[in-house]
Amino acid sequence: MIAEYGMGHRKPLGTIVIFFILIIFTIWTMLPIFWAVITSFKNPGDSLKPTFIPYKQFKPTMYAWHEVFVTHGDRTMRSIRNSIIIATFSSAVVLLLGAFAGYSLARWEFKKWKNKDISFFILSQRMFPPVAVVIPYFLIIQKLHLLDNILAIIIIHVAMNLPLSVWLMLDFFADLPRDIEEAALIDGCGHFKAFFYIAIPIAAPGLVTVYVLSFIFSWNEFLFVVTFGYQNAMTLSVMIAGALTVVGTYYYRIAALSILAIIPPVILALVLSRYLVRGLTMGAIKE
């Protein structure tokens, strides 16, 4: 009876602690987004003040949105278009190459160069900081006459995101049972057909996970874009940084552009949330 009494009183206390932690985490996470939404409806003077209640502490205005879509509308739309093109195509290439490489390492045993060594070499390309390869990449892009070209940014993002994609796909395919593929091969199905018609559909959640992660990394990437792009290849992340000038920081413009930058990745994650959760938990439970 004493044990049951103690357990009965611990459970509500544990639930309260968990809810308290979740509330603190939610506030901590949503506070910057709340600040951005509120600040995007302030005029330049009010954006410097710590006010949060509309009509009582400040008068809402569309000044920031007018500046973003009208005054600098061409730059904004070009930046959004470039961000979508670069993130979409680089993530697609990363997904395709990562799926081929991951499947090969999961299904075949290489003799001269062991699979473990190949995997480690691929992952090692992601260990160094991106700033370490800016100058070599710049010289290569300059020789190819691709400076300020979105194709150069796509190539660089593929090179940076591919190692993580290969490792994730290697894990996803290694967890898949081989029995179905072997049965298909016995029935006369080739390796490519087994890959596209059997392995790919089963590993679909993993593919979605790799695509979403690559999309987010590419969408948020700043260093290579600001180095290799000046005007035609400018993305939204670079345009946000452009609100920091020698005159001062335009917080209202940063807030409006930040809201625009948040929307596409959030929509993508919400649309693919079912597959994303399954992909992130694949392999978590071992038999």
CATH number at residue 150: 1.10.3720.10
228 assigned to some structural domain: yes
55: left (phi over 0), alpha (psi -120 to 50) or beta: left
Q: Are 259 and 36 in contact (CB under 8 A)?
A: yes
Number of domains in the chain: 2
The pLDDT value recorded for residue 281 is 64
The pLDDT value recorded for residue 5 is 46
- 24 with 152, same domain? no
70 assigned to some structural domain: no
- 139 with 253, same domain? yes
- 112 with 245, same domain? yes
- 176 with 241, same domain? yes
- 160 with 255, same domain? yes
211: left (phi over 0), alpha (psi -120 to 50) or beta: alpha
SS (H, E, C) the chain: CHHHHHHHHHHHHHHHHHHHHHHHHHHHHHHHHHHHHHHCCCCCCHHHCCCCCECCCECCCCHHHHHHHHHCHHHHHHHHHHHHHHHHHHHHHHHHHHHHHHHHHHHCCCCCCCHHHHHHHHHHCCCCCHHHHHHHHHHHHHHCCCCCCHHHHHHHHHHHHHHHHHHHHHHHHHCCCCHHHHHHHHCCCCHHHHHHHHHHHHCHHHHHHHHHHHHHHHHHCCHHHHHHCCCCCCCHHHHHHCCECCCCECHHHHHHHHHHHHHHHHHHHHHCHHHHHHHHCCCCCCC
130 assigned to some structural domain: yes
**Mind listing the pLDDT tens digit of every residue in the chain (287 residues)?**
444 444 444 567 778 888 899 999 999 989 989 999 999 999 888 888 888 888 888 889 999 999 999 988 899 999 999 999 999 999 999 999 999 999 888 888 888 888 888 888 888 888 888 888 999 999 999 999 999 999 999 999 999 999 989 988 888 888 877 777 778 777 777 778 888 888 888 888 888 889 999 999 999 999 999 999 888 889 999 999 887 776 778 888 999 999 999 999 999 888 887 777 766 666 544 44
- 90 with 151, same domain? yes
156 assigned to some structural domain: yes
Question: Measured in Å, how far apart are the chain's first and last C-alpha atoms?
Answer: 37
- 167 with 252, same domain? yes
Domain span at 18: 2-39
190 assigned to some structural domain: yes
259 assigned to some structural domain: yes
45 assigned to some structural domain: no
67 assigned to some structural domain: no
- 141 with 230, same domain? yes
- 215 with 114, same domain? yes
